[in-house]
Structure 1
């Protein structure tokens, strides 16, 4: 009904325009719709003539079903009826025309409904209608096995043609914008063109040359020239099967076109003439090989016509065909993208290096305004300018004045201000404005100290900014070097993985290689990649590749899986914490995580003071440090960069934070502790407890350019423990008790010993500060 109302409204609008203007005006949309309707009528007539098995014509019905219930469907129905009566005669044409009318009626009845918008509705309805009408029509004849097979094939082809015709029409029905065709649309258009050629194969000139077969031969030749052997063979087989089905003969054309497509495709880089010669000779051999079944001399004429048309085809047409047949992105595209990214990173890193070099002289120093001589020069300009003895003091007796001021300066600098006895008597007695001169000199001395402090701070800040540029250049350079690192593939394991994925029915592109540290890495992309992250599948792949693996979690990527080599060691951690009495939150913040490189990082920060402000400061430090470490920045560089940033921030807020970082390699057991003003760390190896301390200030107190963390490196074995605490645990009463508790720990429950330490600290009067204890134990991973 919606279509009927739309047609009525358009007719009414056109009639009103005719009454007003006296003529019929066809606008661009109306012309486009007229052309579309004419195309559907023409396609309906042509596809109705595409016969298989000597009289079955399913393709016109498929077009009617795909065109729907609108004007397109109506004109497709009219064209199909015209074609069926023209090609099939009255009796057979009546059967197919009745089926077409019923298919259109079903589409019209369900138009606008939810069911009609389903992709399977039109193909299924067309197949059912054809099955019913065909069964009624053929019920008067004997149902021989061949009839059953051919009729069943026709029903299936009706549904298939309806499905693919609907996809073929989608590029201009959905949107008329210039968008690249999808693979399904390209295949559907090729199938639609093939069925049209089946009808045209009945049209002959000079009594033997078929227009449809000549066009099919030209299509094979064009595709072989543009796409090579694979495209030539595929199009040759498809076109040959269509021609064989329409001619009721043996599969001769499939053999001839496929052979010619392969041979001409092999010469597609040698120029058009070589392609055409290979194509003609291959078809000539196919004709000679079929000598006993009757010579197909018409094929030679058709191939000759196709070859001439091929040689006359413009290059632009060949380029468009080549664009349609272009293969998927080659394997080296990823390598090119990585090379491009590496080059951009290297250029950016070099730019920051040049900026660092340019800023270094500026950051090293500035204008010298700290000379102590300016103290008396500026005091004299303020006091002595109006004195009557100015000429006597600063010209005639300049040497004695200069000596008097030099004698007073050391005491003034040491004390921080000047007093009367600092000056010789001959100067202070002679000076008529000595109290004013002394006061002005003290003001200038105080200003000198302030300028020195300010410029020192400015110099530190400039140096930190300059160093940050250098650190950024180093980080970008390291990232570029990592991109350029050679990754060693493992073809044997990759082949086993591909075979396993194929056997499981998983469609994935996979790669197996060793990273820059020589550890196995498996990457898979595709719809089935998410299955590889399941525990049972990870266990199965570990056995298949003879290397223990673990999945990396990637947020938002269901179509990608990354498995890395599993570490031989594992870390078991336990933590306990208690806030300061009277506070709502603790100023201590801790975190631990494992990176892709198999290292475990444990962070423990203690903000200045207690309460929400300290909690916010320590939490921000932990978050930033974790992001640096996850990004691959080395711990030393990450800590220096963060300390410099906190130093700049501390000028405004006056806050600081202690940082305690443990980095443990689960492949080797090597560990390192980095400290910025943090409490001691305790390492338990057997019955021995070692105390690891540092002398650096908390982050934010020392200038960023000179702040370096204390680093202690050691080796851990299975069963060894590392205890990290904040300064509130041990308190001011010493840590002998803490080391004794750790020494007696049997390693059974890290969480329990952490809780015991916090409880003991509370009993020893440690409630005046926040307390956090984190114990990590290294274990051998079970097989």
Structure 2
């Protein structure tokens, strides 16, 4: 029974506890919104700040804080200026009634000058600072003259100092007022803005000088609390800066507070260094600094009082919600909170960009689907029937309309007449416009105007066939456009996914790699890791100029290979332009296979311009492409066609479009570009450098051969030359290559050159099998020389490309680095 009660009561208690937590969070958020509404939206915080700044004095007689604060509020939040004036006058009256009068009159004079000469938008901040200087100086001069009937040099100097400080504080406070709003600030605070905020806060706390609770000074408690707050949020640099600035302003207000600068600066430094200990660590730093500086500054008499003040600051600091400290840290550059905020912002921007690219991809996909759906089978058959009806209607209009047997043929024997004409049309189509005798004889028995009908059908057949050919071309073009749009959609979709791939933070790994290389004795500028994925490592590094000794290839890449556990090679290297500069190198994972090529070619008759073109290139995704194009004929025009074919193909492949769609797109461009009968062939081999799988796409090209030991494998396919028709199917032949294989690709000038040879395949296989070398360039030269000898002349363009597949073995072995813990 107790077990049953426990099983029933405990879940109910958990639910109530969760509801209580949710209610507490909602209540806290509601309270926070209410406080923001009262203090920030309604401007009550400006009243408090104005009250304290109205009380703030320097050297017990100068009050340079009030008027600059009002001027800044008037410029930045004009609707809240009366509230700030109310706080300033109230605070000044607590010091002396004359201070309140001076403050009020200074504000009136400032507003009068502002109304007389309103500054422009560009220089309004500087102009307002000058107006503050003039207003405060004139009012103070008038007050001293009325009170003393004379102005001494010392008085004039002090008035000038006060007005000068007010002018400077105006520019400082203008940077702080926009921060006192409910608008969320996305960018980080500049260094000047941080210092301005600290000066404003320290100036506000100066207004609490003289306040005490049980002999504990309020300004000391608040100043140390401020140091604790910024020490935890920004670290040692910000903490010590806050301490120095706050202590400096306090020492200007009261000479007795001079030692506070040392205490606050030392507390900010120690607290920032102990930031990893969170609130307790920063608090411990304040207590240690208070103990040390307290003994040094005031001796043991007041040490307990000073410690009590620090304990009060620590208590207030511990009661401060961590969310407030986190919000402060988000706006301070260099903090982890700021980095996370920036990463979230960049993530949002990246997601928006990826979403836009995906939308474009969907648009292209929709366009492709719309082109595909137009050619539905049912619609095509219905249109064919309509065209056949139109065809026969045109025939009957020319023949049957004037025939006396029209009524008998079309009213009484419609099906017989219709099927007979349809049969004649089919027979003419199948026999290239020649009608068989038996069909003409049978139709002559049925129709009295048989010769005229047959002639009319033959004439209309010409127009019908032309129309059908045009429709077929339009349909094929539409299908090609659909494939191209689908290919572009796929490329953009992959690009969107690549954008959304979040770059991981590899700060720790970068430091470890940097330390390991420097411990080895090499100097490295910086290390940037973009990817540590298995098989896709991407590292960028800057190293000093090595005078051509090849340190990146010989030392750094082997060390990275041992550190990461993969074979790393130098992908690209940009050497420094001068000896004292920095070289930039990119290190990436070495591919499992490498391709070594050799090329031999000769133009017809030993000329300089060949109609054949070739290319070998490494494209993205670890693929290697080898292509040969043979332009129709010889000379410059054939060379231009074959070169253009390979240029277009290269650009399509580098864009990431799939091979078949790329070839179809090139064919479409070639077929639509000119009406001349100038065509070209294409022989393309795509080799994957990770698994050595190869795809062969042959467009009316000569067979290729793979030599594997004593075995020769023939690769062939049949397709029309490129540019003849707009639509054709590309046959893809796949073959898995192995290390040591030799791939031999050639043009028809090589394959069909030997005289007195009936079987070119057998002759070429025998020559390849008899080769005694496995060097690609030597093989290309030997085969070209053998073909020319067998032919006796060069009566066609000849091109041969040889590629050897081999394991990608780096030149340098890995160098063990014991100080780095390898990646699991």
Deviation at 1:347, TM superposition (A): 4.4
State the Cα RMSD in Å. 5.8
Alpha carbons 1:679, 1:727 under 8 Å: kept: yes
Aligned twin of 2:373? 361
**1:773: which partner in 2?**
800
Q: How far did residue 267 of structure 1 move?
A: 8.8
**Which residue number corresponds to residue 90 of structure 2?**
none
Q: CA deviation at 1:601?
A: 2.0
Structure 1 residue 671 corresponds to structure 2 residue 694: yes
Aligned ranges 1:117-516 → 2 under 5 Å: 186-187=190-191, 206=210, 229-231=232-234, 233-241=236-244, 247=258, 251-257=262-268, 290=294, 292-295=299-302, 323=331, 327-328=338-339, 330-331=342-343, 339-340=351-352, 342-365=354-377, 366=380, 367-368=383-384, 374-395=390-411, 405=421, 408-409=424-425, 411-417=427-433, 428=444, 435-480=451-496, 494=510, 496-500=512-516, 504=523, 506-514=525-533
Q: Residue 589 of structure 2 aligns with which residue?
A: 565
Aligned 8 A contact 1:729 1:758 in 2: yes
2:552 is matched with which residue?
537
Distance 2:270 2:502 in 1: 43
Give the 5 Å matches for 1:662-701. 662-701=685-724
Q: Distance in 2 between matches of 1:502 and 1:234?
A: 28
Instruction: Describe the shift of the 1:582–1:443 C-alpha distance in structure 2 as closer, same or farther (beyond 3 A).
Output: farther
**Residues in 2 aligned to 1:368 and 1:621: alpha-carbon distance in whole angstroms:** 37
CA distances 1:288-312 after superposition (whole Å, capped 9, x unpaired): 774654427589889999999xx9x
- Cα distance change, pair 609–216 in 1 and its aligned pair in 2 (3 A): farther
> Are 1:221 and 1:261, in contact at CA under 8 Å, matched by a contact in 2?
no
Q: Is the 8 A contact 1:646 1:656 kept in 2?
A: no
Residues 83-102 of structure 1 aligned to structure 2 (within 5 Å): none
CA distance in 2: counterparts of 1:204 and 1:641, whole angstroms: 79
Q: Secondary structure at the match of 1:469?
A: helix
2: CA distance between counterparts of 1:641 and 1:534? Answer: 46
1:550 equivalenced with 2:569 (yes/no): yes
Distance 1:236-1:455 versus aligned 2 partners, 3 A rule:
closer
CA 1:702/1:232 → structure 2, altered by over 3 Å: closer, same or farther? Answer: same
Compare relative contact order (CA 8 Å, sep 6+) and give the higher one, 1 or 2.
Answer: 2
Q: 1:473 deviation in Å?
A: 3.6
- The structural deviation recorded for 1:229 is 1.3
1:607 and 2:631 are equivalent in the alignment: yes
Cα distance in 2 between the residues matched to 1:284 and 1:403: 110
TM-score (norm 2): 0.59
Distance in structure 1 (CA, Å) of the matches to 2:455 and 2:592 = 75
Note closer, same or farther for the CA distance 1:189–1:712 as it changes in structure 2 (3 Å cut).
closer
Q: Provide the rounded CA distance (Å) in 1 between the counterparts of 2:761 and 2:518.
A: 61
2:501 and 2:128 map into 1 onto residues whose CA distance is 59
Q: How does 1:582-621 map to 2 (within 5 A)?
A: 585-621=609-645
**How many Å separate the matches in 1 of 2:192 and 2:640?**
61
Q: 2:781 aligns with which of 755, 758, 764?
A: 755
Show the counterpart of 1:714. Answer: 736
1:574 and 2:598 aligned: yes
Change (3 A) 1:449 1:708: same
Structure 1 residues 425 and 606: CA distance shift in structure 2, 3 A: closer
Once residues 426 and 204 of structure 1 are traced to their aligned partners in structure 2, the CA distance between those partners, rounded to angstroms, is 122
In the alignment, the residues of structure 1 paired with residue 364 and residue 243 of structure 2 have an alpha-carbon distance, to the nearest angstrom, of 64
Partners of 2:612 and 2:392 lie apart in 1 by: 52
How far did 1:352 drift?
3.9
- Cα 1:200/1:671, change in 2 over 3 Å: closer
1:707-730 CA distances to partner (integer Å, 9 max, x unpaired)?
123313032223x32111111112
Q: Distance in 2 between matches of 1:716 and 1:387?
A: 77
Output one character per residue of 1:223-244: Cα deviation in whole Å (capped at 9) or x when no partner.
865x671426543323435677
Deviation at 1:28, TM superposition (A): 3.0
Does residue 28 (structure 1) correspond to residue 51 (structure 2)? The answer is: no
How far residue 640 of structure 1 moved from its aligned partner, in angstroms, is 4.6
Residue in structure 2 matched with residue 723 of structure 1 by the alignment: 744
- Asked whether the 8 Å contact 1:349–1:474 carries over to 2, the reply is yes
Query: Are residues 207 and 421 of structure 1, via their aligned partners in 2, closer, same or farther at CA, if it must alter by over 3 Å?
Result: closer
Distance across 2 between alignment mates of 1:380 and 1:594: 64
CA contact (8 A) 1:220 1:261 kept: no
Q: Taking structure 1 as reference, are residues 341 and 691 closer, same or farther at Cα in structure 2, changes over 3 Å only?
A: same
- CA deviation after TM superposition for structure 1 residue 361, in Å: 3.0
Q: Which runs of 5+ in 1 are unaligned?
A: 1-23, 43-77, 88-164, 172-179, 269-274
Q: In 2, distance between residues paired with 1:732 and 1:498?
A: 60
Task: Report deviation, 1:536.
Answer: 1.4
- Which range moves more in the overlay, 196-205 or 730-739? 196-205
Measure, in 2, the Cα distance between the counterparts of 1:628 and 1:757: 32
Secondary structure at the aligned position of 2:539 is classed as: strand
Contact 1:660 1:674 in 2 (8 A): yes
Residues of 1 paired with 2:513 and 2:689: CA distance? 26
With over 3 angstroms needed to count, the CA separation of the structure-2 counterparts of 1:361 and 1:400, relative to structure 1, is closer
Q: Secondary structure of 2:384's partner?
A: coil
Q: CA deviation at 1:484?
A: 6.5
SS at match of 2:604: coil
- Render the CA deviation track for 1:632-686: whole Å, top value 9, x for unaligned: 444345445544x347537845543322222334444443433222212122222
Rounded Cα–Cα distance in structure 2 between residues aligned with 1:450 and 1:765: 47
Q: Which residue of 1 aligns with 2:80?
A: none
Residues 240-249 or 602-611, more deviating: 240-249
Q: Which residue of 1 aligns with 2:8?
A: none
Q: Is the 2:427–2:436 contact (alpha carbons within 8 Å) kept by the matching residues of 1? A: no
Greater alpha carbon shift after TM alignment, 352-361 vs 31-40: 31-40
SS at match of 1:751: helix
Distance in structure 1 (CA, Å) of the matches to 2:665 and 2:530: 36
Q: 1:186, CA displacement in angstroms?
A: 3.6
Residue-pair matches, total? 619
- Cα distance in 2 for residues equivalent to 1:330 and 1:502: 31
Q: Give me the whole-angstrom Cα distance separating, in 1, the residues matched to 2:502 and 2:325.
A: 42
Distance (whole Å) between structure 1 residues aligned to residue 473 and residue 278 of structure 2: 75
Give the Cα–Cα distance (whole angstroms) in 1 for the partners of residues 653 and 694 of structure 2.
15
Q: 5+ unaligned residues in a row in structure 2: which ranges?
A: 1-114, 136-152, 163-168, 176-184, 252-257, 577-581, 755-759, 813-824
Pair 37,505 (structure 1): closer, same or farther in 2 beyond 3 Å: farther
Superposition TM-score, scaled by structure 1 size: 0.62
Q: Aligned pair in 2 of structure 1 residues 489, 542: CA closer, same or farther (>3 Å)?
A: farther
